[in-house]
Amino acid sequence: MNQGSLTPRLRRLAWNVLRLGVTVGAIAYVLSQITWHDRLIDHGTVIEGWLHVDNGIRTLVTRTGQVVAVPPDAEQADAEVRLVPGIITIFSRVKFGYFLEGTLLVATSVFLGAIRWQWLLQSHDLDPGLREATRLTWMGYLSNNILPGATGGDLVKAYTIARRTPGKRTSAVMTVLLDRVIGLLALIILGALGVAIKATRDGIDSTGRLVLTMLAIAVVGGIVFFSRRIRIIFRISAFFDRIPMGHHFKRIDDSLFHYRDHKMQLARCVGIGLFIWLLTIGGIYLMGESISMSVPFVDYFICLPVIFSAGAVAPSIAGLGVLEGLFQHFFGAVGAAPSTAVALCLLYRLAILIVSIPGAYPLYQEFSSGRPQVVPSLDDEGDEGHSLAKNRQVEVLV
């Protein structure tokens, strides 16, 4: 076996080692920050033990068997003697009504996400139907639990829609990428609104500045990408002609630039994206309430855009450890105990696992059956290259 044939294997091995290393390191860090025992903090003195409740009277039993009375107001943030529950106690007190309500909101957001993706496909004269779009979206949602990072499910969606659109594979696959970008943009917009609301009372903290920076980058990047004047000045078309595999990059570029002439479609997608994230953030807030995490609602809008944006690119297995660490850091900055923040992340993982279960059978069916039915092109073009070349001529002439 020659050296060239080993190179792809070595690359895959290096990538898998990196993923495993990041995952193990992140999990180790998170575990080191978790408080397993309950703690009673009395004027700087920390007493560890297990919380016991008998006839409404709470006591902390230490490892040595000492029984310490716990004041009724000990779980308030400003209490002189403060009780910090360990993660085991936190889970033992989950209010399942709140958790189920939050899970239902997350499930609704998945269905609305399928509608948004269908709209993007329709702009390219492709329409698999709402049932099929929902089916593929749910398959991707399930795949997020077993593939790297928070975008592993996008690979499954891209592959499955490419199988169905042989005439417009590039355009169809790019809708998956744009769907992800629109989702993150909508989340960042909500985050910026949260920063504005909180700034009237507390000013802008480091997390808020990070959210505003992300929004500024997204806006400037969008303006630069969709500006015909900038494209002409920098001779983007000629650049693609000079680089290796430039025709492939042209197809990708045209598939995304296509939406410059579909502004209302993009606006609709951003609008439903805002509603999707309102439901998701509301669901996570209810999960936080189920474990009595005393963090204001507006802080969820500020913390979650940064958490999910960073988690989307983390090279770990299903984002394990990384997402928990991000929850710890950013929710800890607004007053949540590390163990409570981790518990919230784990509850969210449990919720998306429950919600993704309906995607199991379609995923099995997809890869165990033959080639799926082709999605017809509504314009009967069937020749993506001709269509994209036509769009490129328009760009050059304008």
- DSSP structural state of residue 335: T
3-state secondary structure of 109: helix
State phi, psi for 220 to the nearest 5 degrees: -65, -45
DSSP one-letter code for 227: -
What's the rounded Cα separation, in Å, for the pair 233 and 380?
Answer: 35
Per DSSP, the three-state class of 13 is helix
DSSP codes joined into one string, 234-302: TTHHHHHHHSTTHHHHHHHHHHHHGGGG-HHHHHHHHHHHHHHHHHHHHHHHHHHHHTT----HHHHHH
Residue for token pair 């990408």: 225
Q: In whole angstroms, give the CA distance from residue 78 to residue 89.
A: 21
Q: What angle do CA 331, 333, 336 make, to 5 degrees?
A: 50
Distance of alpha carbon 22 from alpha carbon 193, whole angstroms: 33
* DSSP secondary structure, 289-331, as one string: HHTT----HHHHHHHHHHHHHHHHH--SGGGTTHHHHHHHHHH
The residue ranges of every structural domain in the chain are: 40-85, 96-368
How buried is 179 (Cβ within 10 angstroms: 0-12 exposed, 13-18 middle, 19+ buried)? buried
- At residue 333, φ and ψ (nearest 5 deg) are -70, -20
**Is the CB of residue 148 less than 8 Å from the CB of residue 19?**
yes
Let me know: does 265 contact 82? Beta carbons within 8 Å.
no
| DSSP class of 76 | S
**Cα torsion angle, 69, 71, 77, 81, sign:** negative
pLDDT tens digits, one per residue of 56-102: 788 888 888 888 888 877 766 556 777 778 888 888 889 999 999 99
What are the beta bridge partners of residue 47? 40
Helix (H, G, I), strand (E, B) or coil at 145: coil
- 236-277 pLDDT, tens digit per residue, is 877 877 888 777 788 888 888 888 888 899 999 999 999 999
Longest dimension (CA), the chain: 84
Q: Which helix (H) or strand (E) holds 362?
A: helix 360-368
- CA atoms within 13 A of residue 271's CA, in its CB half-sphere: 7
| Spans of the chain, pLDDT less than 70 | 1-6, 15, 19, 26, 29-30, 33, 75-79, 145-152, 315-319, 370-371, 373, 376-398
